Each structure stands twice: as C-alpha cells, then as structure tokens.
Structure 1
C-alpha cells in the first residue's frame, strides 16, 4: 500500500514530532518548535500517511511569488526508507512549488539525501564549511522548475 501524501493537520503534531525525534535524535526539533511550525501561515507540512504518519516534508513558502521556497526538513521512518516514500514526498513538495526556486541544505555526508535531491534536478550551488556539529559541511542545493 502506497501512503497518501496530504497536508498535515493539528492532530498530526505528536506523530510528526515523534518521527522527527526518531530520525534526527539530538538534532530533532522540540515539540514546542513543531507546534510553532504547524501554526505558521508560511509553512507547508505534508505527511505520508499509511494509517499513521511514516514521513513528512516541511517547506517555508513565502507569500511573494518571486521569493525562494526553502525545503526545511524531510524525513521517513527508518524502517520505511528506500520504499519510495521520500520520492513521493519530494514530488508532492515540488508540485507545490511550481514556477518557484527551491533551496535546501544537507549534510555533505548524507549521500542518500543528496542522491534523492539530485534525482529531482537539485544542483549544488554552495557549501558551508564546518556548518554542522562535529565540523561537517553543509551542501546548499537549488531546484528550478524546467519547462
């Protein structure tokens, strides 16, 4: 069964926060931070739902069309990875960004994420040296819809 990709609702807060903790550990956003994300008008949070939340993606979508969209976070339950859920979430997120430029940052060592983004046409445009705890670089990637 393929998960349904749908906008998150307030009832998803605990599931998304718990999934974030499972995926990001010490780097996870707090429940208070997640509550704030759910309340913001400039956020689009999509979830992959298989009866429970198995993945999510968070976009910062400024109201001004010429401003870039930022892909802030994407995660899939560890036991559900490599099943296509991440690709489904990316496709749905980029569909929401039609005609706009999307930026994201990713840890340089996260090869599977970089491959996922590259498969959607994201290109590396910059690097932040020593950005993450432990000194790992951040790779900045950009997506522009092509005609």
Structure 2
C-alpha cells in the first residue's frame, strides 16, 4: 500500500511528535517545538505527512515568503519499521514539488549515509560543512538542491 502524502493538519500534531520521538529519541523536538511548528502552518511552514491509516513519515519545510530566499528542509523522518520502502523518496518528491523554482537547503550528519544517498539521488550537492556541529563532534554536511539539478 502506497501512503497518501498530504499536508499535515492540527490533528496530526501528536502523531508527528510521537513519530519524531520514535525516530530521533534524544534528538527529537519537544512538544513545545512541535506546537510552534504546527502554529506556523499558515505562515512559513509546510509539513507533509505520509499516511497509511496512521502517520508513518513526515517532512518539515521552512518556506520564506520571498521567493529568492532558499527553502530549508528542516526535518524528514520515516517510521523505522517502514524504512527502505520508498516512503522517504515519496516525501522528498512531494516536498521538492512544493519548492518548484526555489533553492532548497538541508543539513545532514556526516555519518547518516542513507539520508545523504537519498538527497544525492534527488540532485542535492554538498556546499559546505559545519565542523563539530553534532554531539560527539560530528560534522553537519550542508547540501543544496536547485530545480535544474533534478
């Protein structure tokens, strides 16, 4: 069954926060942070969810109103039991469709090779690094996507 990729609504707040906790544990966003993200849905946030009768994945975008400003892909996650099924690819595809004509930036932990591989598959390229950004001194790799690279 392919999930339905749809915009998140306020009813998804708890489900997305729970999935974030499952996927990122100590690195998950707080309930307050998630409430803030959802409060900005009509402003500069786009949250898409992969729904299979339950939320099995999500992606969060910061979309500035000025079209010359880049979009930031802030977070993407798929339930560990659903990984390697194409849901991450579907979420990325839907997110990038929302960003047509815009530049998209993201950061990924240097060791997260499966995520980096997904991003490279969509045409993201490394543009810089934040040395020692993550706990334990791991680098954050900054990647950029532009539609002409898709």
Q: How far did 1:101 drift?
A: 0.2
Residue matched to 2:27: 27
Is 2:13 aligned against 1:13? yes
Q: How far did 1:128 drift?
A: 0.8
Residue matched to 1:135: 137
Distance 1:54 1:30 in 2: 19
List structure 1 runs of 4+ shifted beyond 3 angstroms. Answer: none
* TM-score, normalization by structure 2: 0.97
The CA deviation string for residues 89-124 of structure 1, in whole angstroms up to 9 with x for no partner, is 000000000000000000000000000000000000
The CA deviation string for residues 40-81 of structure 1, in whole angstroms up to 9 with x for no partner, is 110000000000000000000000110000000000000000
Distance 1:28 1:7 in 2: 21
One of 96, 108, 111 as aligned partner of 2:110: 108
Is 2:47 aligned against 1:45? yes
Distance 2:37 2:117 in 1: 27
Distance 2:144 2:9 in 1: 28
Structure 2: 5+ residue stretches without partners: none
Distance 2:10 2:108 in 1: 27
How many pairs does the alignment contain?
Answer: 147
Q: Over aligned residues, Cα RMSD in angstroms?
A: 0.7
* TM-score, normalization by structure 1: 0.99
Q: How far did 1:32 drift?
A: 1.0
Structure 1: 5+ residue stretches without partners: none
One of 47, 71, 76 as aligned partner of 1:74: 76
